[in-house]
Amino acid sequence: MIIITGAAGFIGSCTVQKLNDEGHRNLILADDFSREDKNRNLTGKQYLEQVHRDDLFQWMDRRRAEISFVFHLGARTDTTEKDTALFDRLNLNYSKEIWTRCAAYGIPLVYASSAATYGLGELGYEDRHDIVSQLHPLNPYGDSKNDFDRWVLQQSETPPFWAGLKFFNVYGPNEYHKGRMASVIFHTARQIKASGAMKLFRSHRPDVADGAQRRDFIYIKDVLAIEYFLFRQSGVPSGLYNVGTGQARTFLDLATNTFHAMQLAPNISFIDTPEDIRDTYQYFTEASMEKLRRAGYDRPFYSLEAGIEDYVVNYLLEERIF
């Protein structure tokens, strides 16, 4: 059996569908399942059982001999949340419990880290283990992810295989429930539908033009391909892995291509970045992907243009789930 935590969320529910598409039905889905807008992501998917996240550890203890793999994708992901105790409970300590069981029971583990661990990128964006203790995330969410990565690297007892995935800016279907934390592509399409226009965050740095803030945007279908590559791992080294494309693109590129996918002329203006995130706003991220390539992953990534076209035309315009 394969466990997926955060199974009703964005990446989790898409992972369930990917596993279904590859012929896997022996899935155990863990989440809190209290939000109907998230549960919609599981429509039509095939699995064995839903387990409330609070009951998962006891479930694993009882059924440990039957578990073949764990995708730990559940977390509190709100980058504006300031309650460190919440992050300690849901991100750090919960993840430690998952790790401890996978190590004790010999279960391979893939878990969600984040590019938020890199902070302003003072040390670059290489998924090296030796810099983890020196990183300075910009918010409690990033701290919680880096705290777990740091703890993992200190452990002598490990799962037989493990990979911590440093997700960069992931976009794609099944993020309808994420509100403010949904991708800019999602918000662009929504704003265009409502008003025919899009407002991007203005730059508050003199060396960066409005809309020229650059991020490494990765389409969910590339994320799923990477996850499945690691699921089928044979000789892949355990460790932290960036999950991006290796090519930063501007928010202006992103919004413009969303208009094009909707067959509309761009109508883009700028507003001030909200004060609660302005001081911790990343103006540039770009994943170093050499480590994953060395491990044997050789598929090309969706271009921003192709990813947006697929997302908008095949999912967003009809609000279809994956």
Question: Does residue 178 carry a catalytic annotation?
Answer: yes
Q: How far apart are CA 267 and CA 249, in angstroms?
A: 19
Q: How many CA atoms lie less than 13 Å away from 161 in the CB half-sphere?
A: 15
Measured at the CA of 90, the angle between CA 84 and CA 92, to 5 degrees, comes to: 75
Q: Which amino acid is at 226?
A: I
Q: Is 141 a catalytic residue?
A: yes
303 vs 109, 130, 188, 297, CA distance in Å?
29, 31, 18, 17
Here the tokens at position 110 are: 């893939």
Distance CA 246, CA 285 (A): 9
d(CA 224, CA 11): 8
Tell me the residue type at 213: Q
| Radius of gyration from C-alpha coordinates of the chain | 19
Helical ranges in the chain per DSSP H? 10-21, 36-39, 56-63, 84-87, 94-105, 140-153, 184-195, 220-231, 251-261, 275-278, 290-294, 304-311
Which of 96, 178, 199, 291 is catalytic? The answer is 178
Other Cβ atoms within 10 Å of 190 Cβ, number: 14
Of the candidates 47, 141, 219, 302, the residue annotated as catalytic is 141
Counting beta carbons within 10 angstroms of the beta carbon of residue 36, is it exposed (0 to 12), middle (13 to 18) or buried (19 or more)? exposed
The answer to whether the Cα torsion of 102, 103, 105, 109 is positive or negative is positive
Neighbour-count burial for 140-175, b at 16+ CB within 10 Å, e otherwise: bbbbbbbbbbeebeeeeeebebbbbbbbbbbbbbbb
Active site residues: 141, 178
